[in-house]
């Protein structure tokens, strides 16, 4: 087959979102999109499954099609050595102290060049997601279309050796999208910077309504006792998601609530070879505690199961120490739960401390807030109602689509 591998997506209809966001908003999006009909859009990322970007594209691409854009999603290919290197890039760009060596540079460029060779077709807008495929454009330029780099990670404390290495490949894009204004690095043309957040799809299997009873049954399939309190963190097994800190916080809670259980659900994405390693590390840290459940897609945990876990848990946390945005926070808030989240990156734009959740800076604070919510289910419930409305007003896929349309129109004007 010619071109980068194509990802198949389900059909979606913007009209079905009327019941979530109202007719006015949907009409507004449709009116706005009318003169973009037929424009060709390509999204490129590194995995069709696992992690936030894949999650977004599953909804965004079909909705772009529904409003008349000719949208596609393709992925790049690489072997283990490439994904090891890109994971190191991901970590370093988020601030980890890693040395950049020549072998890493060579592997990164070799696979970007290979993928550039496989690239075919012409598009009006090409959106390249994250650092993994970022250098493709360097190998293709000059190439028709408006090229956009969408950065999903937090670059505020970036490792400069890595940033300086990829900067020349990024600078050549026509526009960049960041989740927060302060993620954009110095030296990128200000007029090319656009800022908007990711989003969740309220009608996806992961977020569509599920009854408490049905959700509890799903938990019970995994031997989790729904008559006892349940703490949940949904995350890849990754150092920035602090799974070991989650276990420490749970152990503090357990002193006051001996019955409490901890569920950590984490999918293994193909672009994340560190996942299995970190899963093993977490498992050994959890020891023989029968109250800790480490579950993943390898145990059959898919979107519906994640949904059920979020619906039937008493406490949801996202104890990250770095987080570009944190879709798991959005998903939890949408389930009508206050979220206890690390006070980092994109989490503080989602959690208003004390209103729809709590922002925490360390293990003790995390444990303290979990104990507070376990002791105060009524407060938890009323915070949860605010949580859902906050997501409805700020972080749904419909707004995200609108932001892309505005960006496209803006770029057509300046092209």
Which residue ranges make up the site for ligand UDP (CB under 6 A)? 51-52, 55, 206, 234-236, 265-267, 296, 301, 306, 325-328, 331
CB 30 within 8 A of CB 14: yes
Residue 216 Cβ, how far from ligand UDP at the closest point, in Å?
Answer: 19
Q: Cα separation of 126 and 307, whole Å?
A: 32
Residue 244 Cβ, how far from ligand UDP at the closest point, in Å?
Answer: 17
Residue 291 Cβ, how far from ligand UDP at the closest point, in Å?
Answer: 19
Q: Cα separation of 45 and 43, whole Å?
A: 7
Residue 78 Cβ, how far from ligand UDP at the closest point, in Å?
Answer: 18
Helix (H, G, I), strand (E, B) or coil at 190: helix
Residue 147 Cβ, how far from ligand UDP at the closest point, in Å?
Answer: 23
Its sign, for the CA torsion 247, 253, 257, 263, is: negative
Q: Which residue is nearest to ligand UDP (CB)?
A: 52
Q: Which is nearer to ligand UDP, 226 or 267 (CB)?
A: 267
Residue 362 Cβ, how far from ligand UDP at the closest point, in Å?
Answer: 20
Query: How far, CA to CA in Å, does 32 sit from each of 62, 106, 193, 395?
Result: 17, 44, 22, 19
Helix (H, G, I), strand (E, B) or coil at 147: strand
Provide the token pair at 173.
Answer: 């894009």
Residue 90 Cβ, how far from ligand UDP at the closest point, in Å?
Answer: 9
Q: What is the DSSP letter of 36?
A: G
Q: Which is nearer to ligand UDP, 33 or 267 (CB)?
A: 267
Query: How far, CA to CA in Å, does 184 sit from each of 150, 166, 237, 283, 351?
Result: 11, 14, 26, 36, 22
Q: Which is nearer to ligand UDP, 165 or 334 (CB)?
A: 334
Q: Cα separation of 124 and 412, whole Å?
A: 9
Single out the residue of 117, 175, 104 nearest to residue 146, CA to CA. Answer: 175
Q: Which is nearer to ligand UDP, 74 or 206 (CB)?
A: 206
Q: Which is nearer to ligand UDP, 168 or 300 (CB)?
A: 300
Residue 133 Cβ, how far from ligand UDP at the closest point, in Å?
Answer: 16
Single out the residue of 230, 234, 252 nearest to residue 243, CA to CA. Answer: 234
Q: Which is nearer to ligand UDP, 55 or 66 (CB)?
A: 55
Q: Which is nearer to ligand UDP, 138 or 150 (CB)?
A: 150
Q: Cα separation of 358 and 366, whole Å?
A: 9
Q: Which is nearer to ligand UDP, 170 or 301 (CB)?
A: 301
């Amino acid at each position: 087959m010619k071109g980068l591998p194509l990802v198949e997506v389900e059909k979606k209809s913007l009209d079905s979102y009327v019941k979530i966001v109202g007719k006015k908003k949907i009409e507004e999006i449709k009116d706005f999109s009318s003169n973009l009909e037929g424009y060709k859009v390509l999204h490129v990322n590194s995995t069709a499954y696992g992690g936030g970007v894949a999650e977004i594209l599953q909804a965004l691409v079909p909705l772009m099609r529904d409003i008349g854009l000719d949208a596609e999603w393709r992925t790049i290919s690489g072997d283990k050595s490439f994904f090891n290197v890109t994971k190191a890039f991901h970590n370093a760009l988020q601030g980890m102290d890693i040395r950049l060596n020549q072998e890493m540079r060579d592997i990164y460029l070799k696979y970007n060049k290979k993928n550039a060779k496989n690239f075919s077709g012409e598009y009006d807008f090409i959106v390249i997601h994250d650092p993994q495929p970022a250098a493709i454009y360097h190998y293709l330029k000059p190439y028709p279309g408006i090229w956009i780099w969408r950065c999903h990670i937090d670059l505020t404390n970036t490792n400069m050796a890595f940033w300086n290495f990829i900067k020349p490949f990024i600078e050549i894009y026509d526009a960049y999208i960041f989740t927060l204004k302060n993620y954009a690095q110095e030296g990128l043309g200000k007029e090319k910077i656009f800022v908007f957040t990711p989003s969740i799809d309220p009608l996806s299997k992961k977020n569509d309504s599920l009854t408490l009873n049905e959700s509890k049954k799903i938990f019970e399939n995994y031997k989790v006792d729904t008559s006892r309190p349940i703490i949940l963190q949904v995350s890849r097994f990754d150092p920035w998601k602090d799974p070991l800190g989650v276990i420490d916080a749970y152990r503090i809670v357990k002193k006051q609530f001996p019955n409490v259980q901890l569920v950590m659900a984490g999918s293994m994405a193909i672009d994340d070879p560190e996942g299995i390693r970190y899963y093993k590390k977490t498992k050994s840290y959890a020891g023989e505690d029968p109250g800790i459940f480490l579950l993943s897609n390898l145990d059959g945990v898919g979107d519906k199961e994640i949904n059920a876990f979020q619906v039937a848990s008493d406490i949801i946390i996202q104890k990250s120490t770095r987080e570009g945005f944190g879709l798991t926070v959005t998903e939890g808030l949408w389930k009508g739960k206050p979220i206890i989240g690390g006070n980092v990156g994109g989490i503080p734009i989602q959690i208003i401390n004390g209103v729809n959740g709590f922002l925490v800076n360390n293990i003790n604070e995390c444990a303290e807030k979990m104990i507070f919510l376990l002791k105060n289910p009524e407060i938890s419930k009323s915070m949860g109602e605010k949580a859902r409305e906050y997501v409805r007003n700020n972080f749904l896929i419909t707004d995200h689509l609108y932001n892309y349309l505005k960006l496209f129109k803006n770029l057509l004007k300046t092209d």
